[in-house]
Amino acid sequence: MEKIKSVYIHIPFCNNICSYCDFCKVVYNHDWVKPYLERLEEEIDNSYMGEEIETLYVGGGTPSCLTIEELKLLFRILAKFHKSDNIEFSFECNLCDIEEEKFRFLYHQGVNRISIGIESFDPEKLDFMKRTSDFKDAKKKIRLLREIGFKNINVDLMYAIPSETESMLKKDLNKILKLKVEHISTYSLIIEKNTLVGLNKIKPIEEERDFKLYDIICKTLKKNGYIHYEVSNFARKGYVSKHNLTYWNNEEYYGFGVSASGFVEAIRYENTKSLTEYIKGNFVSSKSLMSKVDNMENELILGFRKLEGINLEHFFDKFEENMQNIFPIKPLIKSGDLIYKDGYVYINPKKLYVMNEILIKLI
């Protein structure tokens, strides 16, 4: 059995609630932070088995909205993890929270990867998302992060906003490229019913338009030296997200905090989405034991998100089964949906956009 080497920590507090966000979050309230962190510590004490951790990701919510004193309490808790010498330690933030004292503290606590939720610089898109991002401010804040010592920075870009034109997206991409970051994560707007855009009955853009925008992103970022290594993610050489690869490689990981999910000893679990229940100490809301078939199907669903695809030898070593005997791989290679090369099977890059249809044919 492979050892667990990744941990996700969910901090649900935000200073502002974005119109599209479906993650578990609440407006920051100082009175809730300490009781929340106390329960987080209890959950970690109950479940963490002392493995050496290679990736640690603090997400949310907006973890950077915590005060220095609250961050000190959080990092006292995170010190419980036995961290590898070459750990990838990521911390999510918004531009408005980046200030010297707080981020010097994060740096000295071992955080070495910062992920900034920029999403866009376009006023119309920002108004739709109920967010603020300013290009001059972004350049200034990233310069500060560099001075502090951070060498691995990700920024998020959202696209497929209803009013978005190709020109708007190209301007966003042009500005993001000027930031010279190591990693870019892109997200097509998904309209969830329990968000402001969902409640306002906003309709998603047509698939054809969505694909055109996606194609612009892929071509622009590849042309500018970014490796397209996962459907939505692009990195400079040597800067792929090791933490996210844990998910896409279908490896086990801990998830701690309200709404966090995890995969431990063949059990996939989800924590309660209720902050009050979590603070009462009622952590896990559901558990499912993964059968061998479940696990093999997840290996495909997650693994085909990577552009390199799935290594057939690794699949055999993991499951003692030939992938081509279990799933209809050969007919899909013949039809051109899948490609086989150098021991890997992967989705035809020209068909990445319809990967869900291909997965339905497979499973």
DSSP 111-179: --EEEEEEE---HHHHHHHT----HHHHHHHHHHHHHHT---EEEEEEE--TT--HHHHHHHHHHHHHT
CB 339 within 8 A of CB 262: no
Say how many domains are in the chain: 1
Residue 311 belongs to some domain of the structure: no
3-state secondary structure of 48: coil
For residue 199, the Cα-to-chain-centroid distance in whole angstroms is: 25
Q: Do residues 263 and 315 make contact, with C-beta atoms less than 8 angstroms apart?
A: no
What is the CATH classification number for the domain harbouring 136?
3.20.20.70
Predicted confidence at residue 225, as pLDDT, reads 98
User: How open is the CA angle 183-186-187, to the nearest 5 degrees?
Assistant: 150
Tell whether the torsion through CA atoms of 312, 344, 290 and 301 is positive or negative.
Answer: negative
- The pLDDT of residue 20 is 57
Any domain includes 112: yes
> At what angle are helices 166-178 and 135-148 packed, to 10 degrees?
30
The torsion angle over the Cα atoms of residues 48, 54, 59 and 65, rounded to 10 degrees, is 100
- Distance CA(345)–CA(73), nearest Å, equals 46
Determine the structural domain holding residue 174 and report its residue range: 6-248
d(CA 243, CA 93): 17
As beta bridge partners, residue 83 has: 53
> What separation, in Å, do the N-terminal and C-terminal C-alpha atoms of the chain show?
25
Which distant-in-sequence residues (6+ apart) come within 8 Å of 32 by Cβ?
A: 13, 26, 275, 279
Please identify every stretch of the chain with a pLDDT value under 50, giving residue numbers as ranges.
none
Query: What is the 8-class DSSP label of residue 253?
Result: B
Is 285 inside a domain boundary?
no
Task: Report if residue 133 sits inside a domain.
Answer: yes
Helix (H, G, I), strand (E, B) or coil at 195: coil
Structure tokens at 119: 């999403």
In a domain, 331, yes or no: no
pLDDT for res 15? 73
Nearest-angstrom CA–CA distance, 194 and 189: 14
| pLDDT for position 352 | 86
SS3 249: coil
Do the domain assignments include residue 303?
no
- pTM over 0.75? The answer is yes
d(CA 320, CA 343): 16
- How many Cβ atoms from other residues are within 10 Å of residue 292's Cβ? 12
Return the CA Rg of the chain.
Answer: 21
State whether residue 6 is helix, strand or coil: strand
Residue 357 is assigned to a structural domain of this protein: no
- The Cα 91–Cα 151 span in angstroms is 13
* pLDDT computed for residue 264 by the predictor: 97
- Within a domain: 212: yes
What is the rounded distance in angstroms from the CA atom of residue 285 to the CA atom of residue 24? 14
**Residue 27 has what pLDDT?**
74
Distance, CA of 345 to CA of 310 (rounded, Å): 5
- The DSSP line for 205-245 is PPHHHHHHHHHHHHHHHHHTT-EEEETTEEE-TT---HHHH
pLDDT tens per residue across span 181-217: 999 999 987 666 675 555 566 777 778 888 999 999 9
